Amino acid sequence: MDYQSLGASSQKEDVHAAIKDSGSGGGLFPGAFCKVIPDMLTGDDESCLIFHADGAGTKSIIAYLRWRESGDPAVFQGISQDALVMNIDDIACTGLVDSFIVSNTIGRNKFLVDANVIAAVIRGYETMAAMLEPHGIHVHSCGGETADVGDLVRTIIIDSTVMSRGKRSDIIDASNVVPGDVMVGLSSTGQASYEPMANSGISSNGITLARHAVLEHGYAETYPEILDPHVDASMAYQGRFHLDDPLPGEDMTIADALLSPTRTYTPILKRLLYGDDASTRIQDVVHGIIHVTGGGQTKCLNFGKGIRYVKDDLFETPRVFRLIKEEGNVEWEEMYRVFNMGHRMEIACTPDFAPKVIAASKSFGVEAKVIGRVEESTNPGKNELVISSPAGEISYGP
């Protein structure tokens, strides 16, 4: 099974090619993790803005199934967290981690999705705001739009757009990753001190592959609205699992595993970047922060120039990803392209600073370790990546 054949894409090459001549790229720091734009709202030359859109993708389909089977719409609160964190953790990679203004956009099929679901989605944003507030991270939920568009949307699609403003001097510009740096990974599993329960590590990427590999076909028969008829029938929901089945080897169900809300690392990044009154300028030691989302562990290939990323000590592959790999017969090479595989945030920093990164993460109960290092590329000017997988070394790019 592979991601492209299922109508999803981890790299969106065609879209990037189509829009490459538009004004969408660039910004003040073209190599930064997010596009950073001038502060057009105030005109202040020392400030900047990030305006960011993302969503929960097809994870809402699993929540929809869970809701239909259990009758409890609260499961959609996790989907709000997914949609929110896909934005705020991207923005946090640039060093802006103080205040986020959020608008949500929901498209629903009114024949299938009632207003209790919409209410749960809204509550989810408010719950996240309350969770982050004690850590000095202000999430302002400003409403949004719910459209009834059943001829467009089979069930429900949930997106967020987030605005943040900060000082240009605070920006972490991932183009500054240099040979000699180490890569510190922050675990996507376990339970952070600010989280109410343990996380499978799944996040919001690769869910199309996860759904079709793990969930049994009966779901598509009972709920045909969860399937694009253009997906090859031999791949559509070809798994062996019910949502209530246990995730083998873990104390959670398949539903828990696939619906674990995307962890936010913002409390950790805030403490790391702004917690110290050290004389060190943070950009002198933290050269890049990479959110392992679309593109999975290969996301780093987009940052720095002439870099060879060597990831030779990844976390053990979390159970949920092992299950997806086994059930979907997914190649390791594809798994690392699609999923975070154990850490969803990575920090390229000087070797001396790595212990501070690890300590900041562990102070919130999130495992962290040096998972690799940065070398000079063997292919001048191009980035490359080598991952030590359980099946041996895998090379990516250029």
Ramachandran region of residue 252, left (φ > 0), alpha (ψ -120 to 50) or beta? beta
Rounded to the nearest 10°, the torsion over CA 12, 213, 223, 55 is: -30
CA neighbours closer than 13 Å in the CB half-sphere of residue 285: 16
Task: Report the SS3 class of residue 82.
Answer: helix
Closer CB to a second copy, 286 or 338, in the complex: 338
Q: Least distance to a second copy from the beta carbon of 369, Å?
A: 31
Q: Which is nearer to a second copy, 105 or 175 (CB)?
A: 105
- DSSP strand pairing (368-376 vs 307-311): antiparallel
The encoded tokens of residue 282 equal 């943070």
State which residue, 147 or 359, has the beta carbon closest to a second copy: 147
CA distances from 166 to 51, 120, 279 (A): 12, 31, 20
Q: In terms of CB distance, is 99 or 175 closer to a second copy?
A: 99
Which residues, in sequence order, are CB contacts of 65 under 8 Å at separation 6+? Answer: 215, 219, 223, 226, 243
Distances, alpha carbon 289 to alpha carbons 15, 180, 236, 345, in Å: 24, 15, 36, 7
In the chain the first and final C-alpha atoms are separated, in Å, by 24
Kindly tell me the burial class for residue 231, based on how many C-beta atoms sit within 10 Å of its own C-beta (0-12, 13-18, 19 or more).
Answer: middle
H or E element in which residue 371 lies: strand 368-376
Q: How far is it between the farthest Cα atoms of the chain?
A: 62
The residues that bridge with 393 in the sheet, in sequence order, are 388
Judged by beta carbon, residue 121 or residue 268, the one nearer a second copy is 121
For residue 316, the minimal CB distance to a second copy (Å) is 30
- Smallest gap from Cβ 164 to a second copy, in A, equals 8
Residue with Cβ nearer a second copy (155 or 377): 155
CA distances from 271 to 92, 201, 361 (A): 12, 22, 9
Q: Which is nearer to a second copy, 227 or 292 (CB)?
A: 227
Q: Which is nearer to a second copy, 161 or 389 (CB)?
A: 161
User: How far apart (Å, rounded) are the C-alpha atoms in residues 350 and 183?
Assistant: 9
* Cβ-based burial of 37 (10 A; exposed 0-12, middle 13-18, buried ≥19): middle
Q: How far apart are CA 52 and CA 86, in angstroms?
A: 9
Q: Which is nearer to a second copy, 211 or 311 (CB)?
A: 211
* Closer of 159 and 384 to a second copy (Cβ): 159
